[in-house]
Amino acid sequence: MMYREQTATWSLTEVILGKAKDYLQLTKFTLSFLVVFSCVVGYLMVPQVDFHSGRVLLLFIAGLCITGAANAFNQLIERDTDALMRRTASRPLPAGRMQPAEALAVALVLTLTGLVLLDIFFNPLAAWVSLFSLCLYAFVYTPWKRWNSLAVFVGAFPGALPPLIGWIAGSGTWGIGGWSLFLLQFFWQFPHFWAIAWIAHDDYRRAGFKLLPGNGMRNAYVAMQILSFTILLILSGFLPYLLHVYGSFALAAGLFTGSYLLYRAWKLVEKCDAASARQLMFAAYIYFVSVQFAMLIDKI
């Protein structure tokens, strides 16, 4: 009798853990965490805002809800193409562990929760811009990926909006400081995502996605585009410094890690291979995390 009870308990635990794992996959929790972290950084960079754990936690929860909802809508729309790619076939929708109605319900609940939190505890403008970002990502960028590579340019806007949303949440206005952080994250999207698209090129082609510029093939032209946007990224790091959003330490951190990113981009130009693209992708993550923390340390 006791053995059966223990077995039932273990089975229930496995079901709960399995469902939790599916929800984390549906909302792309790890990616969402990085995105929302940049939103919180944008909030904390507002001159009149001081660190308050309660408000930071509320913004983090709201951001996770909005970003998670955008990812859920994305996977709901792409469930058929996800089934064609090795890297996404095990997601809950294409694998059949979750029904579309459940994913839609999760996305809607998360959207409503995030918007209400932003509206009540911060300001309506932050909620409206967040809703715009969600719609642009889920309903414009997502289907555009099957049309042409301009989807990456379109997707860079919602990808860069989180720090601006954070700035709006803290200030209630479209401050130029927030736009400078938006620009920095906007240019970061290109070396970051094109490196991923280079690595997963065969998978993306199998699903009919057109994500690399030019003729869509992995070649020197694409590598040069990545190099060009990496240079623009490094240069854009001067703008928040000139606007007194952050100081010389954050600028130096951006230049140092940006130089490494530029080196990796140049190596991709030289070799045009997946190994170089993978190293570039990791360099982009190093740049992102380093600059975010440096900004917090060196806020003016």
CA distance 208 to 126: 35
Q: What CATH class has 175-300?
A: mainly alpha
> Which has more confidence, 50 or 248?
248
Listed range (41-45, 88-92, 266-270) with the worst mean pLDDT:
88-92
pTM above 0.85? Answer: yes
What pLDDT score does 14 carry?
A: 74
Query: pLDDT per residue over 223-243, tens digit each?
Result: 999 999 999 999 999 999 999
Produce one character per residue of 25-54: b if its CB has 16 or more CB atoms within 10 Å, e if not.
bbbbeeebeebbbbbbbbbbbbeebeeeee
- Which residue is listed with tokens 């890297």? 87
Angle at 44 between CA 42 and CA 45, to 5 degrees: 65
What percentage of the chain exceeds 90 in pLDDT? 83
* pLDDT for the residue numbered 9: 56
Q: Measured at the alpha carbon of residue 227, what is the angle toward residues 223 and 233, in degrees to the nearest 5?
A: 140
Q: Tell me whether the CATH fold assigned to 1-173 matches the one assigned to 175-300.
A: no
176 pLDDT higher than 90: yes
Lowest mean pLDDT among 10-24, 76-90, 131-145: 10-24
CATH number of 1-173: 1.10.357.140
Beta bridge partners of 37: none
What are the residue boundaries of the structural domains of the chain, listed by start? 1-173, 175-300
User: How does the average pLDDT of the chain come out, rounded?
Assistant: 93
Give yes or no for residue 11 having a pLDDT over 80: no
| Confidence at residue 216, expressed as pLDDT on a 0 to 100 scale | 82
Looking at residue 44, its pLDDT comes to 97
